[in-house]
Amino acid sequence: MTTELRRLRNYIDGEFREAADGRTTEVVNPATGEAYAVAALSGPADVDAAMAAAQAAFPAWRDLVPAERQKVLLKIADAFEVRAEELIAAESENTGKPLALTRSEEIPPMVDQIRFFAGAARMLEGRSAGEYMEGMTSIIRREPIGVCAQVAPWNYPMMMATWKFAPALAAGNTVVLKPSDTTPASTLLMAEIIGGVLEELGHPKGVFNVLCGDRETGRLMVEHSVPAMASITGSVRAGIQVAASASKDVKRVHLELGGKAPVVVFEDADIAKAVEDISVAGFFNAGQDCTAATRVLVHESIHDEFVTALAKAAADTKTGQPDDEDVLYGPLNNANQLQQVSGFIERLPSHAKVEAGGHRVGEKGYFFAPTVVSGLQQDDEIIQHEVFGPVITVQSFSDEEQAVGYANGVEYALASSVWTKDHARAMRMSKRLDFGCVWINTHIPLVAEMPHGGFKQSGYGKDLSAYGFEDYTRIKHVMTSLG
């Protein structure tokens, strides 16, 4: 007897709708490896409908005073708190994440970030008006961009959706958001909640829309004539494709792409503290985090001691089912990702040594053991390319100069950390490390007030902070004659 799968539908103009042509795709729970739903597979007609709804809603939403948009966002944040357990359940089904950690580590920052952007809506600052030409006064207007096409990833479906819609709506834009085809459930629940708030407060239904679909759906969104901005969090390959597609009609682009964060541990570091924090920051969310502490560079004088301690920490780290409160992380998100992570280990060069893990866990779901690999060289594949799994690599360095060279010697430039008791060294390293974020004696904390974004192939534009908010605005010069 076959159980009928739940149906996940697009959210367009305040309504849940099947794909116009009826196409669907299966959605799999990565903790079981079994399908639990079918989601709409959106095509051109669905993209047209969502863009039309967002475009129609834009003038009224744009013209609201910031205080009114703030009210909406604050009410959304409150509603997310009230329905937190529903969101947690949907996110765990999406991703296999531990319920307890999703409750403690994702809901509170999401709510806080929405409230931050609610306040930011009322704090748009610009240069003061003035006379820069005789008889003329110049002023600066900061305005919303228009309709934003946004694509969120599968590693943090709720969190990354929040990073996108909150600043966009706060600035006065309207949104068409596509979650990953593997993780649509929690985003659609968010749409239901947001839509309810918009309706309750009497605002246009098309302010926030969600399209389910695959890469082709995302391409159709980015290439559509309506959006003025395309924003994506995803792989470097996806970012390059989005930038190329958006260039055809000169859309603004916001890209948060891959990472390969160096974690530079000097000989004077507190080894026990560093190992404890780095293991959590490397294995959390199964290492499926662009800022994960997965590329450790250790001074040669403490290398062996550090590796031994890190391997023990890995052996003590547990992965398992979402309802197990003792686990640090759940499964990899999908079968392809499991294959990718396994492939990196299978292709390790002969000089590499697997100190811990290096294998799949169980036959059900996509679980992978906490893994530590040592003996690596700078040009090895696993050093140069993003694994996006619970795998921490370790290299040794001889001095500060070599540490900087190894750290910067990749194409990614999102995040990094330095571990030392020497303040001057920490300041030198923070200047020389070519990454959008440098943590000192910690790794991975984020706050709404500070920007998150990288350089090089990690993309451009900022999430969070006033800088992230400003990315969703445009600047207009207005000059008036005093005569």
- Best CA proximity match to 15, nearest among 44, 43, 40: 40
Tell me whether residue 272 is exposed, middle or buried, using C-beta atoms within 10 angstroms of its C-beta: 0 to 12, 13 to 18, 19 or more: exposed
Dihedral, 461, 170, 235, 183 alpha carbons, nearest 10 = 170
Q: Which of 290, 386, 437, 470 is catalytic?
A: 290
CB 44 within 8 A of CB 224: no
Total residues found in the chain within this entry: 483
* Angstrom distance (rounded) from CA 119 to CA 124: 10
* Angstrom distance (rounded) from CA 57 to CA 55: 5
Q: What is the DSSP string of 48-61?
A: HHHHHHHHHHHHHH
Q: Report helix, strand or coil for 139.
A: strand
Active site residue 437: no
Active site residue 290: yes
* Angstrom distance (rounded) from CA 240 to CA 321: 35
- Best CA proximity match to 282, nearest among 444, 48, 50, 68: 444
CB 8 within 8 A of CB 28: no
Q: Which of 91, 106, 256, 470 is catalytic?
A: 256
The terminus-to-terminus CA distance of the chain in angstroms comes to: 83
Say if strands 371-374 and 208-210 run parallel, antiparallel, or are unpaired: unpaired
Say if strands 415-419 and 15-17 run parallel, antiparallel, or are unpaired: unpaired
Q: Between 107-120 and 84-95, two packed helices, what is the crossing angle to 10 degrees?
A: 120
* Angstrom distance (rounded) from CA 282 to CA 243: 29
The catalytic residue positions are 256, 290
